Structure 1
Amino acid sequence: MSSIRHVEAGVIPADKQSKIDALEQKFDDANAELIRHAAKIHEPLFQERADVTKSIPGFWHQALVNCLGTSIYIDDDDHALLSHITDIQVSRNSSDPRAATIEFFFSPNDFINDASLKKEFTLAKDASPLGDKFVFHEDTVPGPTAISWKSDEKNLCKLKPTKGPEVGANGAGANGAAGDELEDEDDFEPGSFFSSLFDNTSKAIAGVLGENIVDELYQNAIGFYLNTAPEAFFPDESDDEDDEDEDDAAEIDLEADEPAKKKNKKE
């Protein structure tokens, strides 16, 4: 009869450790090659998608709203400028696709003079080698983006600045450096989308928003536009329906009890 095993860490025999290490490195190298290959074959597909979606009015604006990872950063005052987005592109380095540059393209508008805005995320110096575990907002460094606003009255970054313990000069945190996590999420106010993404250099704010754009929105833009993506912002109607069913059931039970009570009185 086999003995019961409980969860515990296994031990690699000393004479097998070098072979295991070499094999793990081969897996990492294979993963790195897969990442490079995926970026290479996706690039022309994303361009083909852009050629089509540019002719769909409000495509990216709606996709941004439907994607929960980006919509939570959108202020009501952002929509007028977001509606002028004609394209969003994510560029990657062919040798190491983990770092990325996000570029927003705009039609002529009353807000900014820029035809496009770029947000660069460079690979952090202490990032693990390609093929190892990688978390975008932890292992990249967001750079600042200057925006040429047409007037202070249209400057969304100034009118609706991002607020919170992580936000200081140049996006630095309360400790004088861009931190990894928000100290108190209750104190965080995203303000304008353009402040959180372009004006900010905090990993916990611009980094997370950039990660949501790169890994969620851009990868499945059509799904978000159609509101069919798994991560899309679906109104949670199931709870409301359950509540309505319970209320209906309660009303039926109450009505059913009335005749019984009357019958008891007669008895």
Structure 2
Amino acid sequence: MATPAKVTKTEGKNNHDAADEQADKEQQEAIEQIDEVQNEIDRLNEQASEEILKVEQKYNKLRQPFFKKRSDLIAKIPNFWVTAFVNHPQVSALLTEDDEEALQFLTKVEVQEFDDIKSGYTINFCFDSNPYFDNEVISKEFHLNDTGEPSSKSTTIKWKEGKDLTKKPTAAQKGKKRSHDDQESFFCWFSDHADAGADELGEVIKDDIWPNPLQYYLASEIDEETGAGDEDDLDEENLDGEEEEEEDFDDEDGAEDDDGDGEEEG
């Protein structure tokens, strides 16, 4: 019987290296194929973004007549916008008493997205003649350049003498502050361009208040109605509880009387 040929250590090592090389080759091919598939996914995502943008542009134009009609109707309601701002929890926290007085002359707020939508938007604040500044319109614009770098710019507010709310308040004015003494005026926001990419107030106005300002104008009335209902419910619950206690008390008295009569009979 023939003796099997012995495999040398060198041959075994070579076979193992060949297997590793084959595995590496297959792994590299898989990576290249994954990359090709990923490129197709990215291409579809880009195509979807372009189509979504076209839809947004289409409906943004369709909404404009309704925004105008809404603004015309809002103009008939005194203090609509200042009420909406005061009722909004985030915006209200930024308002001093002086700001609220100045915003009572605010007649119109509008958000105008740029035609391509993705490059930015403008927020316009329209005012009646007032004792604080000469501007009829104060605007703040937000831009994204071709590289995606955000920036902002705004109208310079022409304050009347002694009425600049953005200056540090005097000792007399500090007593009128709603919260802490160093709270900045709402109007400081117009000149704040430090971080245009994370402008929370601009985003709140554009994405929360502007789509449906009526819900915030009515918020105080809704809260009052809800609060009244809660009080009525509590009163009813208390009344029911008192009636139940009285019934229990009567039952206990009756039971005691029965026991007492029984003892006397005995």
CA distance in 1, matches of 2:169, 2:198: 15
CA contact (8 A) 2:139 2:154 kept: no
Aligned residues: 213
1:247 to 230, 234, 238: 238
CA distance in 2, matches of 1:156, 1:199: 12
Alignment gaps of 5+ in structure 2: 1-32, 171-178, 260-266
CA distance in 1, matches of 2:103, 2:66: 24
Q: Secondary structure at the match of 1:113?
A: coil
Q: Secondary structure at the match of 1:151?
A: coil
- Does residue 147 of structure 2 align to residue 155 of structure 1? no
Superposed displacement of residue 206, structure 1: 8.1
TM-score for both structures, normalised by structure 1:
0.63
- Does residue 12 of structure 2 align to residue 20 of structure 1? no
Tell me the C-alpha RMSD between the 2 structures: 3.7
Report the counterpart of residue 219 of structure 1 in structure 2.
211
Report the counterpart of residue 81 of structure 1 in structure 2.
102
Report the counterpart of residue 202 of structure 2 in structure 1.
210
Shift of the 19–88 alpha-carbon distance from structure 1 to 2, 3 Å rule, reads: same
TM-score for both structures, normalised by structure 2:
0.63
Shift of the 201–59 alpha-carbon distance from structure 1 to 2, 3 Å rule, reads: same
The aligned amino acid for 2:192 is N
Alpha-carbon displacement from aligned partner over 1:223-257 (angstroms, at most 9, x marks no partner): 544x2xxxx45425265555444433433333233
CA contact (8 A) 1:160 1:191 kept: no
Q: Secondary structure at the match of 1:110?
A: coil
1:42 to 44, 59, 63: 63
Shift of the 144–251 alpha-carbon distance from structure 1 to 2, 3 Å rule, reads: farther
CA contact (8 A) 2:151 2:197 kept: no
**Relative contact order higher in (CA < 8 Å, ≥ 6 apart):** 1
Report the counterpart of residue 258 of structure 1 in structure 2.
249
The aligned amino acid for 1:156 is L
Superposed displacement of residue 83, structure 1: 1.4
1:57 to 59, 64, 78: 78
CA distance in 2, matches of 1:247, 1:68: 32
Identical-residue share of aligned pairs (%): 27
Alignment gaps of 5+ in structure 1: 1-12, 128-138, 162-185
1:121 to 142, 146, 160: 142
Report the counterpart of residue 8 of structure 1 in structure 2.
none
Q: Secondary structure at the match of 1:156?
A: coil
- Does residue 79 of structure 2 align to residue 32 of structure 1? no
Shift of the 72–80 alpha-carbon distance from structure 1 to 2, 3 Å rule, reads: same
User: Which structure has the larger Rg over C-alpha atoms?
Assistant: 2
Report the counterpart of residue 192 of structure 1 in structure 2.
185
CA contact (8 A) 1:142 1:206 kept: no
Report the counterpart of residue 175 of structure 1 in structure 2.
none
